[in-house]
Amino acid sequence: EAQVTQNPRYLITVTGKKLTVTCSQNMNHEYMSWYRQDPGLGLRQIYYSMNVEVTDKGDVPEGYKVSRKEKRNFPLILESPSPNQTSLYFCASSLSRPAGTDTQYFGPGTRLTVL
Amino acid sequence: GENVEQHPSTLSVQEGDSAVIKCTYSDSASNYFPWYKQELGKRPQLIIDIRSNVGEKKDQRIAVTLNKTAKHFSLHITETQPEDSAVYFCAARALRAGGYQKVTFGTGTKLQVIP
């Protein structure tokens, strides 16, 4: 089954404790992206990756890191989480054809609370 | 950078009536405009999309229109049903130098269909 998976689904942590949220897709998609969703602000892009070893900042990259060592995985790293990073996080993937209409498939979401 | 504005933020309609959600974008390089539906506690899922070389697209009760000159696009839902109740997001994808793609989402519209 074609899917995007994220782990963990729920996480409560404390300020400053490094954490990683994993994202994996089995559709051989080039494009992967991380979003955070906050009430009234919609989905804001944190980082995206066009392919292996190719990443770029989105709209709200501060406090986050990513890596793309393999095509299927795109982990989100919070080196020193702070309470303002409490949010619902979504990973998404799609094919990468600039002239095409490529559906983004979203993961199930990770609800993160930083105390 | 790209700015996508979405209105209204909330919309209540009687079952059977039509609902219209409007979005404007700022980047003339945007070439793809998807709409996502997010039910409570679920991930966003694509419901319809349109490319920049098309003015209108319809899929059963859902239609999307695009006015490139005015840089706005709209979602139309006819004969609304209670199961249409959800948050709807518009998005715009713009191409950047080097083939990078940037997807920007609107802030969402919470649609309530009253039986």
Residue B2's pLDDT is 81
B34-48 pLDDT, tens digit each: 999 999 989 999 999
Q: What dihedral angle (degrees, nearest 10) is formed by the CA atoms of B97, B98, B103, B104? A: -30
B48-105 pLDDT, tens digit each: 999 888 899 999 999 999 999 999 999 999 999 999 999 999 999 887 776 677 789 9
Residue A106's pLDDT is 95
Residue B1's pLDDT is 73
Give the long-range contacts of residues A97-100, CB within 8 A, separation 24 or more: A98/B31, A98/B95, A98/B99, A98/B101, A99/B31, A100/B32
Residue B54's pLDDT is 83
CB B56 within 8 A of CB B63: yes
Asked whether residue B19 carries a pLDDT value surpassing 60, the answer given is yes
The shortest CB-CB distance from B100 to any of A42, A56, A90 is to: A56
Residues of A in contact with B103 (CB under 8 A): 33, 45, 48, 104
Asked whether residue A102 carries a pLDDT value surpassing 90, the answer given is no
Q: What share of chain A is helix, strand, coil (3-state, %, to 5)?
A: 5, 50, 45
Residues of A in contact with B6 (CB under 8 A): 42
Asked whether residue A100 carries a pLDDT value surpassing 60, the answer given is no
Contact A41 B34 (CB under 8 A): no
Query: pLDDT-based confidence at A2, cuts 50/70/90?
Result: confident
Tell me whether B104 touches chain A (CB under 8 Å): yes
Residue B26's pLDDT is 94
